[in-house]
Amino acid sequence: MVKLFLYNFCYCFLLLVFLSFFSCKDSDSIGLEVQPTSDRIEIFETSFDQNDQLASLTISTDTVSPLRSDETSSLLLGGIMDPVFGFKSASFSSQISLSESNIDLGNNPLVDSVVFSYSYSGYYGDLSSFDDAEVYFCSNKIYKDSVYYSNYDNSSCYDLINGSLLSSFEISSDTSLNPSFKMTLSNSIGQQILDMGNDGFLIDNQTFQDNFGFFVIKPYSTFSHSPFSNNVILYLNPSGSNTGFTVYYHNDSNDSLELNFLLDGETARINTFSSSFPGLTPTAGFSYIQSMAGHKSKIVLEIDSIAEELSNKALNKVTLSFDVEDNSLYPAHENLSLVRVDSAGNNIFLSDLIVEGATHFGGDLVDGGYEFNITRYFYNLLNDPYFTDELYLLASGAAINANRTIIDNSSIKIIILYSEL
């Protein structure tokens, strides 16, 4: 009886396994045989460039308006004689700030030396070519709570009679643990500061800055006539560990004292950029982007015909991409910005960046080219007759770097992935 029971149990179990195997064999196709083909989503791709018949884009180069350049994270100093863009120079203006209040300098304080130094976080060009600079004191005032632009004119501060305050300078190697640009100034400016202590002007930073001007640090004046020297722009860090302004002095009771000032915090500072002959000479087939209030590229999309082709279709992804000219001495920007121009002429960030974020949006230099995800922008352009069709490619961080980018116009392409509805 037991044997018969076991026999029947095994038989039923094997039968169930057999039926289960064959009943599950075509599970992946369940529903597909009854789903209409017209309901299936199929992905298609199309693209257009400057010469497409359905749609086209035009690209051109414009100059950039002066940039806001006060209290930037980097101060730029130097100049570049670029074979394409011409000569571009950078100087800056900076206050100094007391590091403490109620300073007592003792009896008869006399200056020993003055050191003005910055950590530098990088440079653009040939570091070894930097061979001179100038430092001037300006009795005028600049203010931390004011707005200044990159065309700020500090030329009235140049003391052509007495000359620069700079006695000497040194730049440490960029392989140093904390590279620095160190300037030694004339003792006269140090004594001028020490004498302010006798007048009660070192009681606090506000009082000091109300009664003391600022410094202008610029490339050497003959720079523009020397294309083979000083072909570099330094990126100075006002918050670096080697950054500071120090007056070394002695008094009647101590022969080794120092008065320290800060170059960040409550210190007003302004980057100033200038260009000179010969300037940019555009070449057909290329577009140009340059930092330091140089140039930007304008893209105009003409999509009336392709709008008809894409009607009643779902946009899955739209990208704008292009390649750039490679140059090891004058490298392209690590990142570009893409903005649209509204009806009032203002630059507006694309919704793809605002909603999706920078990683999704793109704009980084990868393998000699850039790509932007412009799906949301393109959807609005297709569906809103009042949406502007003008875009600008801009330098990212244009007030704190000296890079330039040359676009190969023939490589510009817009790729559209869409679904039939």
pLDDT in tens, the chain (421 residues): 444 444 454 445 444 444 444 444 444 333 334 444 445 556 788 888 877 766 678 999 999 999 999 999 999 999 998 889 988 999 999 999 999 999 999 999 999 999 999 999 999 999 999 988 999 999 999 999 999 999 999 999 998 878 899 999 999 999 999 999 999 999 999 999 999 998 999 999 999 999 999 999 999 865 444 455 568 999 999 999 999 999 999 999 999 999 999 999 999 999 999 987 677 878 889 999 999 999 999 999 888 878 888 888 899 999 999 999 998 889 999 999 999 998 888 899 999 999 999 999 999 999 999 999 999 999 999 988 888 899 999 999 999 999 999 999 999 999 999 998 7
Radius of gyration (C-alpha) of the chain in whole angstroms: 32
> Which residue's entry shows tokens 């003005």?
116
What is the spatial order of strands in the sheet that 313-323 belongs to? 43-48, 413-420, 313-323, 369-373
Residues 6+ apart with CB under 8 A from 219: 77, 78, 79, 89, 90, 91, 132, 133, 134, 230
Give the CATH number of domain 43-64+294-420: 2.60.120
Interatomic CA distance for residues 119 and 220, integer angstroms: 20
